[in-house]
Amino acid sequence: MRGISNSIVALILVIASVIITLVTVGFTFAILGSNSSSIQVTQVGSPIISGNEVVFTLKSTSSVKIVKVYVNYPNDTAVKILVNNQSTDLLSPGLNKVVAEFNFQIPQNAEIYVVTSNSEVIPLG
C-alpha cells in the first residue's frame, strides 16, 4: 500500500512540475512577444507643403529609420530629411517633427509617402 501511495505522490509532483513549466514558458513567450511586436508609425495632423519642403509629424512606437520620403508625381525622393530639427533620418519613440526637402517645387495636391525601415509605407494627407 505504501508503494502505491508513494507513486501517487510522485505522479502529482510530476504533473505539478509540468503545469508550472508550461505556465512559465507561456509567460515568457507572452513577454517576449510584446517586446518584439511590430513597430507602428502613424501620421499626426496634416502635412504642410511650402515650396520645396513638406513638414509633417509622425508618431512611432519605437525607433525606426525613414528610408525615403517621395512624391508620387513627379516620382522623386527627398534630398534632405530632418527629424526633430536634427540632420537624421531616425524616428524616436513618440512624436517626431519631420522636414523633407526636395529639389523641386512640390504641388499642393501632391501625393507624398514615407517609407520606413520596417517596410511600412505611410501616405501623408
- What are φ and ψ of residue 55, in 5° steps? -115, 130
pLDDT tens, residue by residue, 64-96: 999 999 998 656 889 999 999 999 899 999 999
* Span 30-34, average pLDDT: 55
Count other Cβ atoms within 10 Å, centred on residue 70.
Answer: 18
Using the 8-state DSSP alphabet, how is residue 89 labeled?
A: -
Rg (C-alpha) for the chain, rounded Å, is: 26
Reported as a pLDDT band with limits 50, 70 and 90, residue 53 is very high
* Span 37-48, average pLDDT: 88
Q: What is the pTM of this model?
A: 0.68
pLDDT tens, residue by residue, 2-28: 777 788 888 888 898 888 888 887 777
What fold characterizes domain 41-124? Answer: Immunoglobulin-like (2.60.40)
Q: Which three cell numbers stand for residue 28?
A: 515568457
